[in-house]
Structure 1
Amino acid sequence: MLRSLREALPKGRSVPSFAGATFANSVGMGIYYPFSLLFFQSVLDTSLTGIGAALTVSALLALPLLPYVGRLIDRFGPRQVLLVSTTVRAAAFAGYLLVDSLGPFVVLSVLVALTMRTEQAATPALAKVLAEREEGDAAGRWMALSRALFNAGFGVGALAAGFVASASPEVLRGVGAGNAVCIAVAALLYATLPALRPAAPVAGAAARERARPWRSGPFCRVVAAGAGLWIIAVSIETALPVHLVRGVGAPAWTASVLFTLNTVLLAVFQVPLAHRVERVRPAVLVGAGALLHIALPGALAAAGHLAPTARTVALVAAMAVYTVGELVASQALLTLLTALAPQERRGAYLAFNQLFIGLANALTPLLVTSTLDRGADLLWWLLSGCALAVAVLMTGALRAAAAERTPPGDGAGELRSARPEPTATT
């Protein structure tokens, strides 16, 4: 098994720094996210409603800036942009400790939201560039490693913060400082990576057309699929505890067990599974993974009609199936997004994708709360319909790609062929 895992891992001199930066960053986020509202309340001494409104406004204000972020990635390279964004985000989290009113808090929160979206756009671009430079390609392995380490680090950070907060609630103000330190470590590790030269811009009318991500039908299909799956993930994360505890009457530990199972499976199986399915068409994986997403909303809809033991078994099994779907679909989406984006415009394309991810992230809580007020079954039906729509979208994309005879590098063909190239170890 260890040999199989070693074969699945990416190779190259930059792997330790890339992996270490991802892990340090995710540990900081794990420290921060579970206690963020409590941390902000301890700093600002204001209502949770006010803090929530400020965070939503900040997230929406950051979105129009993302196209400029994409241009910066294309002009200076993803490594340089990541170095700056992590440094700014570390300073912003440290700055939270000094604010005492909502005005400065919103300014810092805009910076945090913008840099987080920047990192989610630049990290796959960096993985793609490093893979091409050090392995010829195999970008899928680099991105799988990044996702696996993010989930592992997030779990470690959340667990550590939970133990510390349980022992001494007064340390909540240290949440921001701990996150800032972890992000600063990530910035230092990014600084050790080679300064890669960005791809030279292509001139002419065709280049101007390629600079507009919304003109690429195949890329927009993948963006829509990713936004749909993101809506499902955020909705599950938000609604599951509320539904189980208040709607079904299940013990609170049930939600904790389900989320822990999800995190462990994502951390342990992301890299091996990505290696096993790297020869499968990414669009097929996205469609199949979307269908597997339906298992959990279905089990949650049935939870109230089951006995406690049967309910727990059904939910655990459904979470395992859902997580497998998340594993294969999320990995394939990243592969498609980086493969469909022109090399010299990869930053602009990935930033365009983050625009819709950010919008879904900002508006999904409103969808969840409004539907839960009308009955949880409506939410589970909507999420199942969303997963089915993603699967249908990918099926249509495959048919369109098969029907078109496109020159190499054109987006439609990539829906059919985009995947990491096999290396000597496969």
Structure 2
Amino acid sequence: MSLTLTQRLGLPSMRGQGALVVATLIDALGTGLYLPFSLLYFQRVAGLALPVIGGGLSLATALILPIIPFMGVLVDRFGAKPMVVVAQVLQALGFLGYLFVHSLVVLGVSALLVMAGARLFYVSFGVLIAQIASPDERDRWYGLSGATQNLGIGMGGLVAGFIVAWGGTIGYQTLIVANVLSFGLAALLLLWRTAPSPVRPARSADSSQGSRAVLANRPFLVLVACNVLFTLTLSLLSTGLPLYITETLNLSTVTLGILSAFGAGLLIGTQTLVMRLLEPYRRTRSLALASLLRALGYALLALALLLPHVLLVPYLFGVVALNTLASLITAPTVIALAAASSPAHLQGRYLAIYQFSWGIASALAPTLFTLLYALGPAWPWVALIGPTLIAGFVMVRLELYLPGQAVHVHPKEVARNEPAC
């Protein structure tokens, strides 16, 4: 009965890996404690001006991007699980440094450690999931990890508000200390309680090619290029939607908070179920569907300008639900497709290049949104409808060139019965 319920909810088999899920939750909880108050901490506690904070964090981001491919080499050489632990330690050290930030130099060095650890975590964690999950449960595992991270971040953000309100300056410092401890505890759990590290695939003759093997794989690079757009659309929503709702549509910050909580609740509560429902279908078709939903969501956001004010709130609940559904489909599916498209002995390198697309999109989103928004409040949404639809079409065409075991969630069942959609 319990197993049947687990399957119906879209949860993967977690035998021997429960501590991994707990470690992921603890990691995300610490991030959620810090993230909403990061700029306020540097401004109010560290005493830095906003231009200095922005410049230091942007410089750290720019310096980390070129070394992301090298992180894939480390994962392939030393294993995914040890590199996840190293990533946790780097982030713990970086946040510990934040307690002593009173100058741009200390901020830059600490931010470099934090961002290097974060990028290394996502590269190595993606490979670790690919190694511990059976091929037909990867989508469920990526969905579960995403839901767990969203739950932890949401819980952390909620608790952080009370801590800051109660403690003032000490409250801000408490958030940093709690984040340091969360990374340390997550690393200890991974070392002590998780199942033994998966046996790494033996190096083959072409493993010496390094990242050149990835760069020679054109279908995979097309997938990465499409993911730049997928990630850019998500970043634009998180960056621009609060401004659009409060300043353009003249709704209150309370309404914005309720809409954000609604979207987060959908992500947490339905992520694994959505992945189960999509399992009979090709991953490329699922991503095409998500692109169609995202384009429709953009069109509806632009049309919100024409609605009477009294209809905006229920209308936006529908728009948020639509965009959230697109996110539910895209995030786990695209990384599962990337992992299944990469040779096992080069998986670290492949997923490092995949993660590089996230860095590019995150760097582009704020500038792109502000430029388009300056042309008119509807332009950020209208301008992305066409590219989003094109990316969906490219995904359908790409399935002809990607490995069959990557396109299908259950490749063994494809020959027997595959839905036409």
Give TM-score, length-normalised by structure 1.
0.90
Quick check: 1:137–1:421 contact (8 Å CA) kept in 2? no
SS of aligned partner of 2:63: helix
* Matched residue, 1:120: 122
Counterpart CA distance in 1 for 2:357 and 2:211 is 19
Q: Is the partner of 2:281 in helix, strand or coil?
A: coil
In the aligned structure 2, how far is the partner of 1:106 from the partner of 1:382? Answer: 35
8 Å contact from structure 2 (residues 88, 117) kept in 1: yes
Q: Deviations over 1:52-71 (max 9, x none)?
A: 12111111100111111101
Question: Do the aligned residues in 1 keep the contact of 2:204 with 2:345 (CA within 8 Å)?
Answer: yes
SS of structure 2 residue aligned to 1:279: coil
Q: Distance in 2 between matches of 1:17 and 1:50?
A: 39
Q: In the alignment, what sits opposite 1:70?
A: 72
Aligned residues with identical type, % of pairs? 28
- 2: CA distance, partners of 1:26 / 1:421: 35
Q: Structure 1 pair 317/65, CA: closer, same or farther in 2 (3 Å)?
A: same
SS of corresponding position for 2:133: helix
Letter in 1 for 2:376: G
RMSD (Å) for aligned C-alpha atoms = 2.1
Shift of 1:207: 6.8
Q: Could you say if the C-alpha distance between residues 137 and 391 of structure 1 is closer, same or farther in structure 2, counting changes exceeding 3 Å?
A: closer
The alignment status of 1:34 with 2:33, answered yes or no, reads no
Displacement of 1:210 after TM fit?
Answer: 8.0
Residue 97 of structure 2 is matched in structure 1 by 95
2:290 counterpart residue number: 289
Partner of 2:53: 51
Alignment deviations for residues 192-211 of structure 1 (CA, whole Å, 9 cap, x no partner): 3213332111015x873885
Partner Cα separation in structure 2 for residue 85 and residue 210 of structure 1: 21
Once residues 317 and 323 of structure 1 are traced to their aligned partners in structure 2, the CA distance between those partners, rounded to angstroms, is: 10
Q: 1:91 to 1:310 in 2, by over 3 A?
A: same
Separation in 1, partners of 2:42, 2:384: 31
Aligned to 1:316: 317
The match for 1:240 is 241
Match of residue 413, structure 1, among 387, 396, 404: 404
Task: Kindly state the Cα deviation for residue 43 of structure 1 after the two structures are TM-superposed.
Answer: 3.9
What is the rounded CA distance, in whole Å, between the counterparts of 1:141 and 1:93 in structure 2? 31
Residue matched to 2:252: 251
CA contact (8 A) 1:22 1:150 kept: yes
Q: Which residue of 1 aligns with 2:368?
A: 367
Retained in 2: the 8 A contact 1:287–1:395?
Answer: yes
Asked whether the equivalents of residues 295 and 384 of structure 2 are also in contact (C-alpha less than 8 Å), the reply is: yes
Code of the residue aligned with 1:363 in structure 2: it is L
Cα distance in 2 for residues equivalent to 1:217 and 1:418: 22
Aligned to 2:147: 148
Q: 1:397–1:415: 8 Å Cα contact kept in structure 2?
A: no
Task: Give me the whole-angstrom Cα distance separating, in 2, the residues matched to 1:62 and 1:293.
Answer: 30
- What secondary structure, in the 3-state scheme, does the structure 1 residue paired with 2:321 have? helix
Measure the CA separation in 1 of the matches of 2:255 and 2:411.
Answer: 38
Structure 2 partner of 1:404: none
Q: Report the 3-state secondary structure (helix = DSSP H, G, I; strand = E; otherwise coil) of the residue aligned with 2:205.
A: coil
User: Is the 8 Å Cα contact of residues 139 and 420 (structure 1) preserved in structure 2?
Assistant: no
How far 1:29 sits from its partner (Å)?
Answer: 1.2
Cα separation, 1, equivalents of 2:28 and 2:379:
33
Q: How far apart, CA to CA, are the structure 2 residues paired with 1:4 and 1:64?
A: 46
Cα distance in 2, alignment partners of residues 381 and 311 from structure 1: 19
| CA 1:167–1:44: 2 relative to 1, 3 Å | closer
State how far apart, in whole Å, the 2-side matches of 1:391 and 1:162 are: 39
Partner-residue secondary structure (3-state), 1:14: coil
Residue segments in structure 2 that go unaligned for 5+ positions in a row: 414-421
Matched residue SS, 1:219: helix
What CA distance in whole angstroms lies between the structure 1 residues aligned with 2:203 and 2:74?
A: 13
Matched residue type, 1:251: S
* Cα drift, residue 294 of structure 1: 2.2
Residue pairs, 1:191-230, within 5 angstroms: 191-192=191-192, 193=194, 194-204=196-206, 208=209, 212-230=213-231
Summarize the Cα distance change of 1:65–1:313 in structure 2 as closer, same or farther, 3 Å threshold.
Answer: same
Alpha-carbon displacement from aligned partner over 1:378-417 (angstroms, at most 9, x marks no partner): 111123233212212112213x33xxxxxxxxx4434533
Distance 1:97 1:421 in 2: 53
Q: CA deviation at 1:237?
A: 0.7
Match in the other structure for 2:160: 161
Q: CA separation of 1:322/1:50 partners in 2, compared to 1, >3 Å: closer, same or farther? A: same
- In 2, Cα distance between equivalents of 1:81 and 1:309: 52
1:338 maps to amino acid? A
For the residue of structure 2 that corresponds to 1:376, the secondary structure is coil
Shift of 1:233: 0.9
Gaps of at least 5 residues in structure 1 are 402-410
Summarize the Cα distance change of 1:420–1:311 in structure 2 as closer, same or farther, 3 Å threshold.
Answer: farther
3-state DSSP of counterpart to 2:132: helix
Query: May I ask how many residue pairs the two structures share in their alignment?
Result: 408
Aligned to 1:185: 185
How far apart, in 2, do the equivalents of 1:383 and 1:363 lie?
14
Question: Is this contact kept in 1: 2:340–2:405, CA < 8 A?
Answer: yes
State the SS of the aligned residue for 2:242.
Answer: helix
Deviation, structure 1 residue 373: 2.0
Structure 1 residue 295: deviation in Å?
Answer: 3.4
Q: Does 1:299 align with 2:292?
A: no
Letter in 1 for 2:141: W
**Offset, 1:218:** 2.0
- Stretch moving more, 149-158 or 44-53: 44-53
Query: Secondary structure of 1:337's partner?
Result: helix
Question: Could you say if the C-alpha distance between residues 5 and 101 of structure 1 is closer, same or farther in structure 2, counting changes exceeding 3 Å?
Answer: farther
CA contact (8 A) 2:25 2:152 kept: yes
Question: 1:143-196: per-residue Cα shift (whole Å, max 9, x none)?
Answer: 111111011111101111122223343312222212111111211111132133
